[in-house]
Structure 1
Amino acid sequence: MRYRQLFSYASRLRTLGNEIILAGLRRHGVVGIVPSHGDILHILLHDGSCTMSELARRIGRTRSTVTALVRKLEQAGYVQQLTDTSDGRGRRVLLTPQGRALQPVFAQISADLAALVSRRLTDDEAAQLERLLAKCLQSPDADEAPQPSPAAAHTTSPTQRRVSMSNYRTAHIDLQASRTELHDLLQLTGCEVSCNTLPKGASIPFVHAHKHNEELYIILDGAGTLFVDGQEMPISKGDCIRIDPAGMRCLCASPEQALHYLCIQTKAGSLEGYTMTDGLMPADAAKPSWL
């Protein structure tokens, strides 16, 4: 069988990771959680809350599987379900105080998992492996899909669509989703971009910094409060905020309005050229119909 070792290595790496996760949970006396809960808890620790459908889409599981996983977390006291105030019909999943208390435990387990990789691979090797594994998990027709028509490109869809050509890749996302990361969707190599929505009164449930990346927050709609290094400042539509890697940050939406924003991560100090200093205008380049 071709590529048999690929699947064997991937399976063994997953087993090693699960062993580290279970050992970390035992070390901290955490019960009622297994590795299959990890993706759900990671999303909720980062986003604060999420709909059941969005959870299913983001972790690549069926709705019924996610419902069963969430039910077990709910029975263990880590999450709760509330009516989604945005439409009054759906359900949002959010962490309980017991669930939010898992943040330092998960941070330590994440560090242990990262150490498993960093002891064996350089940062560049690990990033390349991550990209290749993500590529293996893409839909098999993602690279052959036709370019959508202008009308189709603007239709709203609950699912993401990707189109890849030789020099570009496109995606269509739900702008109302709690969080959509474009790194894997577009195979980004120089930055990470996420589109985020915090419901009224919701907050990112932790304060964080970064090792290497500066972040640019662009507020698309709504209002809220940004916390940076002990200071709180009001933010609203049109505000743009750059935060250095070491800045300790957190956001919350106002009680009256949801907060919609983009977050762009890129390595601090890596920008060497931009706009006209990086742009090229070859005289023989193909031109669009309107030029």
Structure 2
Amino acid sequence: MYDETLARLAAGARDDLGFLLLTAADAVVAATLAEVAGQGYPQIRRVHVPVFVHLDPDGTTISTLAARAGVTRQAMTGVVRELEEEGFVSTAPDPEDRRARRVSLTASGAEYCRAATAASERLSARWADRLGPEAVDVLRDQLRQLAAGSSPTVPD
């Protein structure tokens, strides 16, 4: 009944910028996670990444982490709980709001972050070897513009 509609959507998705960006991001995250899994961190999953990425050095409330990651507080609470059980983060009452929980990185969490950063740098170097350093720099700049919400300029 909707075969044509789905076929057109699938055909369009192959070249859709948003779809390509999501697919590329998924591939990069998967490659990074696979590399750090081989270094002793197989328990870290894609859902855990936003906690590490959005965590402030002095700790961050679960509500703030959820807002930064674009998920519900309840979902973030579950993810933080998993990471706390694995020893990568700790939680304590927030000194500014005793009802809130502040999430902080542990020594194990810092070790994971160092391993993930090194893996990301190695993967970036591989992309630079494959595409050329200048092309990677241009790609980074363009992605920053897209992430900042810059609209493409249309020539007159």
Interval containing the TM-score (normalised by the shorter chain)? 0.7 to 0.9
- Amino acid in the other structure paired with 1:79: V
Does 1:57 find its partner at 2:71?
no
Task: Give deviations 1:140-193, integer Å, cap 9, x for gaps.
Answer: xxxxxxxxxxxxxxxxxxxxxxxxxxxxxxxxxxxxxxxxxxxxxxxxxxxxxx
Shift of 1:129: 2.4
Aligned residue in 2 for 1:86: 96
CA distance in 1, matches of 2:42, 2:58: 21
CA distance in 1, matches of 2:72, 2:42: 25
Does 1:16 find its partner at 2:16?
no
Q: Per the alignment, in what secondary structure is the counterpart of residue 101 of structure 1?
A: helix
Does 1:97 find its partner at 2:111?
no
* Unpaired stretches in structure 2, ≥5 consecutive residues: 1-8, 151-156
Alpha-carbon contact 2:93-2:100 (below 8 Å) kept: yes
Number of residue pairs the alignment of both structures matches: 136
Larger-Rg structure: 1
The counterpart of 1:43, out of the listed 54, 70, 76, is: 54
Does 1:70 find its partner at 2:80?
yes
Classify 1:47/1:117 alpha carbon distance in 2 versus 1 (closer, same or farther; 3 Å): farther
Classify 1:112/1:39 alpha carbon distance in 2 versus 1 (closer, same or farther; 3 Å): farther
Identity of aligned residues (%): 30
Aligned residue in 2 for 1:259: none
Alpha-carbon contact 1:56-1:62 (below 8 Å) kept: yes
Alpha-carbon contact 1:39-1:59 (below 8 Å) kept: yes
TM-score, structure 2 normalization: 0.73
Aligned residue in 1 for 2:3: none
Aligned residue in 2 for 1:28: 39
- Amino acid in the other structure paired with 2:102: R
Task: Give deviations 1:117-156, integer Å, cap 9, x for gaps.
Answer: 54433413321123224428xxxxxxxxxxxxxxxxxxxx
Name the Cα RMSD after superposition. Answer: 2.6
CA distance in 2, matches of 1:62, 1:32: 22
Task: Give deviations 1:69-103, integer Å, cap 9, x for gaps.
Answer: 11111111111110111122211011222212223
- Amino acid in the other structure paired with 1:129: L
Shift of 1:8: 3.5
Task: Give deviations 1:17-53, integer Å, cap 9, x for gaps.
Answer: 1331222222211132112211211333x52410011
- Higher-RCO chain (CA-CA 8 Å, sequence separation at least 6): 2
